[in-house]
């Protein structure tokens, strides 16, 4: 029988990733005694195997591209190749620094971090390493892991997941990327910049298929210019080993040879064998079912992050963690508007979005109830200076507020914060048009699009 570990906590959190530690930190600030349990390092997937290391690789890729293209800007440089040992050292140093800082924050917030594989053993208890940790409330934040397809075994050698891709100590000569979503296109972008031949296979009709279709088309055009091949509307049929790597087949009869196959078909919730069902928690396809306040059907248990069927984004985990902590702290927080969460794919060029796609807006407000405007970055001086192309597309409710903003181009992810304010404050195009945007910046492109929608275009035809 498990030993009970001391005085009960106000909150016991299973999972120390983005959602778990955000919940722990906020709860501690609200005066709660908190235990945070994880079998791995504090920070979870985002810090150690996701957002942070991936974006470090993407920045190294950007430097590689700039060194190749420097003559376009009148700067003479030479590109001598990629030193993956040095790239990985740079990446790992960033992760280590952020990890150390996070550990310091946990200590400063007086959060008890308990290392070990936890299991839910009741509506108010988690068992770890033979000890039972009781809490007034339990938060499940066990995150997600890379998925595969039926019959497709990830061996970590020739058929790899994103976890393996982050630790490669060489640049592959060629890669097939199975999946054209965020993870797939980001790694495709990195490897192409590093010099690999890359082919993406996506079952749906476009790359980044959850984005506005115009954004998908702009990214596809840019990838063609970069020499990134892709097959869309192509379903995976099988893979076999070859002398030099793998041969991937699709249901349309095509075959693709490469050194590696990256399986990037999404991430699934980590919920098996953790006692959730035994404790009466309702699940659906492995996800924990929750209400708009992230509370499960068991009143003393909440769930957040990739474990629940919301957007699988680190900042969503932060928001859900805060939501639960503040609800338990009696602050009556508002539910999260998931349409109001910013989304960025950090490939080259970047794809950033807020709110509804044009299709979704027309489904909600009717085909005649939506007006759109697209401002081409060719009309933006800073984008010309950066030598990037793309567009800013604004979707508004007819005679009403802006309900969607969609952007493609180098560095447009930095514009999503203003886009977030425009959407979440239900601004009308005229509200934004009266603001004077700094010149020359890419932010002007947002201003120009709203000027045009307000009927007073500057550097664009109406």
Task: Give tens-digit pLDDT for 261-286.
Answer: 999 999 999 999 999 999 999 999 99
Q: What is the pLDDT of residues 208-230, one digit of tens each?
A: 999 999 999 999 999 999 999 99
178 within 8 A of 262, measured Cβ to Cβ: yes
Q: Are 141 and 274 part of one and the same domain?
A: yes
Q: Are 261 and 282 part of one and the same domain?
A: no
Task: Report how far Cα 319 is from the mean position of its chain's Cα atoms.
Answer: 14
Phi, psi of 344 (to 5 degrees): -135, 130
* pLDDT reading at 3 higher than 70: no
Using the 3D structure, point to which of 247, 265, 283 is the last residue of a domain: 265
Over residues 248-255, the mean pLDDT reads 96
Q: Are 374 and 402 part of one and the same domain?
A: yes
Under the banding of pLDDT at 50, 70 and 90, the label for residue 7 is confident
Triad 46, 422, 366: Cα angle to 5°:
100
Q: Are 128 and 275 part of one and the same domain?
A: yes
The residue from 164, 206, 437, 439 that is catalytic is 439
Q: Are 256 and 363 part of one and the same domain?
A: no
Q: Are 131 and 233 part of one and the same domain?
A: no
Q: Are 13 and 82 part of one and the same domain?
A: yes
Q: What is the pLDDT of residues 21-65, one digit of tens each?
A: 999 999 999 999 999 999 999 999 999 999 999 999 999 999 999
Q: Are 355 and 400 part of one and the same domain?
A: yes
In whole numbers, what is the pLDDT of the chain averaged over residues?
A: 96
**Which pLDDT value is given to residue 16?**
97
Q: What CA–CA distance (Å, rounded) separates 87 from 25?
A: 32
Q: Are 14 and 123 part of one and the same domain?
A: yes
**Which pLDDT value is given to residue 236?**
97
199 within 8 A of 250, measured Cβ to Cβ: no
For the chain, percent helix, then strand, then coil, each to nearest 5? 35, 25, 40
**Which pLDDT value is given to residue 130?**
93
Q: Are 10 and 141 part of one and the same domain?
A: yes
351 within 8 A of 219, measured Cβ to Cβ: yes
Under the banding of pLDDT at 50, 70 and 90, the label for residue 1 is low
Phi, psi of 252 (to 5 degrees): -85, 10
CA separation (Å) from 273 to 37, 241, 405? 16, 33, 41
Domains identified in the chain, total number: 3
Using the 3D structure, point to which of 265, 285, 301 is the last residue of a domain: 265
> Among this protein's residues, is 450 annotated catalytic?
no
Under the banding of pLDDT at 50, 70 and 90, the label for residue 2 is low
Q: Are 403 and 304 part of one and the same domain?
A: no
Q: Which residues contact 85 (CB under 8 A, 6 or more apart)?
A: 169
Query: Can you give the residue range of the structural domain that contains 181?
Result: 159-265
């Amino acid at each position: 029988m498990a030993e009970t570990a001391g005085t009960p906590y106000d909150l016991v959190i299973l999972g120390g990733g983005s959602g778990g530690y955000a919940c722990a930190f906020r709860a501690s600030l609200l005066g709660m005694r908190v235990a945070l349990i994880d079998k791995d390092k504090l920070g979870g997937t985002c810090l150690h195997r996701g957002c942070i290391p991936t974006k470090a690789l993407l920045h190294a890729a950007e430097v590689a591209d700039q060194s190749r293209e420097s003559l376009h800007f009148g700067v003479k440089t030479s590109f001598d190749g990629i030193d993956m040992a040095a790239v990985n050292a740079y990446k790992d140093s960033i992760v280590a620094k952020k990890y150390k800082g996070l550990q310091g924050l946990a200590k400063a917030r007086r959060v008890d971090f308990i290392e070990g594989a936890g299991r839910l053993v009741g509506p108010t208890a988690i068992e770890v390493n033979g000890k039972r940790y009781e809490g007034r409330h339990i938060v499940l934040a066990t995150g997600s892991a890379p998925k595969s397809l039926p019959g497709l075994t990830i061996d970590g050698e020739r058929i790899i997941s994103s976890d393996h891709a982050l630790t490669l100590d060489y640049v592959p000569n060629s890669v097939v990327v199975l999946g054209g979503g965020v993870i797939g296109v980001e790694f495709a972008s990195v490897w192409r910049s590093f010099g690999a031949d890359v082919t993406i296979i996506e079952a749906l009709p476009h790359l980044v298929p959850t984005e506005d279709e115009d954004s998908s088309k702009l990214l596809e055009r840019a990838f063609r210019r970069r020499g990134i091949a892709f097959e869309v509307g192509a379903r995976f049929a099988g893979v076999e080993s070859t002398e030099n790597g793998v041969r991937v087949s699709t249901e349309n009869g095509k075959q693709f040879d490469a050194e590696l196959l990256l399986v990037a078909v999404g991430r699934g919730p980590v919920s098996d064998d953790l006692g959730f069902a035994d404790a009466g928690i309702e699940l659906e396809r492995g996800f924990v079912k929750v209400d708009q306040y992230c509370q499960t059907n068991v009143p003393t248990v909440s769930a957040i992050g990739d474990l629940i069927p919301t957007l699988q984004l680190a900042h969503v985990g932060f928001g859900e963690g805060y939501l639960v902590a503040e609800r338990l702290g009696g602050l009556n927080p508002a539910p999260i508007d998931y349409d109001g969460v910013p989304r960025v794919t950090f490939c080259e060029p970047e794809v950033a979005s807020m709110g509804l796609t044009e299709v979704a807006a027309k489904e909600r407000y009717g085909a005649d109830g939506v007006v759109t405007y697209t401002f081409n970055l060719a009309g933006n001086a800073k984008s010309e200076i950066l030598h990037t192309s793309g567009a800013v597309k604004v979707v508004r409710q007819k005679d009403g507020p802006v309900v969607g903003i969609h952007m493609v181009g180098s560095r447009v992810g930095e514009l999503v914060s203003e886009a977030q304010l425009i959407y979440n404050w239900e601004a009308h195009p005229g509200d934004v048009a009266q603001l004077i945007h700094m010149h020359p910046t890419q932010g002007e492109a947002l201003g120009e699009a709203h000027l045009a929608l307000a009927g007073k275009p500057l550097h664009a035809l109406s």
